C-alpha cells in the first residue's frame, strides 16, 4: 500500500493517533473534552471501528487541535513518518539535475561491474519499518536485497539513501528523518545541500563522525568499498542555469 492508496478517512485516523501520542492525552480526557463516550473514543483510536462517523472524527480533531484539512491524495505529494503526514514541495531544477546525474553515475557503475543491486529515484514509496506508519520517498536509493522489491514499493530499509535537501526542510525534520534511516538499518546515508554546495556522508555501519565534502570533490560510496565515487565537480558543472 502506498500513501496515495490510503483514503482521506484513513489519513485522518492515522493523524489522530499520531497527535494523541504527541500530546500524551488519555482516552478518558479525550472523552471528557469531546463529549464522546470513552468506549467509542477508544475504538476509533485503536482501529476497532473501521468507519467512524464523520462528526465523531471532527470532534476528536477539535480536541487534539487539528485544524488543517487533508487534501485529496492526487493533489499532494507527501511522506508519512511515525504516523504523521508531511507535505513535500515540488523539487527545483537543480534538485532534479543532481538526482538525475547521481543516478546515472550509480547506474553506470552497477551495469559495468555487473552488480546485483538496483538504483531507484523518487517518487518511489519506501515502507521503511515494514509497516504503514512510515512511508518515505528518498531522492535516491540503492537496494541490494531483491526480496525487498515489491510491485509498488520497497518493503524495508535500502542499503543506500541520498536526500537532496530543500529550502523548506527544517533542521528538526532533517534530523528526525536521518534518525529513522539509522534505526531502520540503512547502511549509508547522504545529505546533499544545494545552498551550501556540500555532501554530508553518514556511514552507519561504522561508529564514526560523518564526512563532509564539497561540490568540487569525488565522493566515495562506502557500501562499494570506495570503488564507486560520485563526481560532484562534473555534476556541479551541469547546474549552471
pLDDT of the residue at 4 = 55
Radius of gyration, CA atoms only, the chain: 21
Please give the backbone phi and psi of residue 158, each rounded to the nearest 5 degrees, phi first. -65, 165
Pairing of strands 78-81, 84-87: antiparallel
Angle at the Cα of 115 from the Cα atoms of 110 and 120, rounded to 5 degrees: 55
The set of cell numbers assigned to 40 is 467509542
pLDDT of the residue at 72 = 46
Question: Which fold is adopted by the domain 93-237?
Answer: tt1808, chain A (3.90.1570)
Helices (H) and strands (E) in the chain, counts: 7, 13
In the three-class reduction of DSSP (H, G, I as helix; E, B as strand; rest coil), residue 139 is classed as: coil
Helix (H) or strand (E) holding 220, with range, is: strand 218-220
**Cβ-contact 138, 177 below 8 angstroms:** no
Cis peptide before 156 (omega within 30 of 0): no
Q: Which residues contact 214 (CB under 8 A, 6 or more apart)?
A: 197, 198, 199, 232
pLDDT of the residue at 173 = 87
| Residue (of 137, 225, 238) closest to 181 by Cα position | 137
User: Other CB atoms closer than 10 Å to residue 199's CB: what's the count?
Assistant: 23
pLDDT of the residue at 114 = 94
pLDDT of the residue at 164 = 96
Low-confidence ranges of the chain (pLDDT < 70): 1-8, 22, 67-77, 241
Strands across the sheet with 84-87, in order? 84-87, 78-81, 135-136, 125-127, 153-155
**Domain 3-76 coded CATH 3.20.20.70:** no
Reported pTM? 0.73
Domain boundaries, the chain: 3-76, 93-237
pLDDT of the residue at 69 = 63
Tens digit of each residue's pLDDT (9 = 90 or more) over 149-200: 998 899 999 999 999 998 878 888 899 999 999 999 999 999 999 999 999 9
**Cβ-contact 238, 119 below 8 angstroms:** no
Do the domains spanning 3-76 and 93-237 agree at the CATH topology level? Answer: no
Amino acid at each position: 500500500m502506498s500513501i496515495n492508496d490510503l483514503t482521506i478517512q484513513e489519513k485522518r485516523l492515522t493523524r489522530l493517533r499520531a497527535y494523541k501520542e504527541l500530546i500524551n492525552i488519555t482516552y478518558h480526557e479525550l472523552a471528557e473534552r469531546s463529549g464522546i463516550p470513552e468506549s467509542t473514543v477508544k475504538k476509533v483510536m485503536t482501529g476497532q471501528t473501521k468507519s467512524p462517523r464523520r462528526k465523531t472524527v471532527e470532534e476528536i480533531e477539535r480536541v487534539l487541535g487539528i485544524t488543517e484539512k487533508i487534501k485529496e491524495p492526487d493533489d499532494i505529494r507527501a511522506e508519512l513518518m511515525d504516523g504523521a503526514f508531511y507535505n513535500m514541495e515540488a523539487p527545483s531544477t537543480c534538485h532534479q539535475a543532481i538526482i538525475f546525474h547521481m543516478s546515472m553515475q550509480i547506474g553506470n557503475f552497477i551495469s559495468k561491474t555487473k552488480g546485483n543491486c538496483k538504483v531507484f529515484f523518487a517518487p518511489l514509496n519506501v515502507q521503511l519499518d515494514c509497516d504503514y506508519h512510515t512511508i518515505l520517498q528518498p531522492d535516491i536509493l540503492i537496494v541490494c536485497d531483491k526480496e525487498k522489491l515489491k510491485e509498488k514499493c520497497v518493503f524495508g530499509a535500502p542499503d543506500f539513501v541520498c536526500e537532496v535537501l530543500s529550502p523548506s526542510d527544517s533542521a528538526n525534520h532533517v534530523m528526525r528523518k536521518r534518525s529513522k534511516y539509522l534505526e531502520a538499518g540503512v547502511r549509508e546515508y547522504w545529505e546533499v545541500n544545494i545552498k551550501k554546495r556540500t555532501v554530508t556522508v553518514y556511514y552507519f555501519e561504522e561508529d564514526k563522525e560523518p564526512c563532509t565534502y564539497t561540490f568540487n570533490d569525488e565522493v566515495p560510496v562506502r557500501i562499494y568499498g570506495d570503488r564507486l565515487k560520485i563526481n560532484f565537480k562534473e555534476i556541479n558543472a551541469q547546474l549552471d542555469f
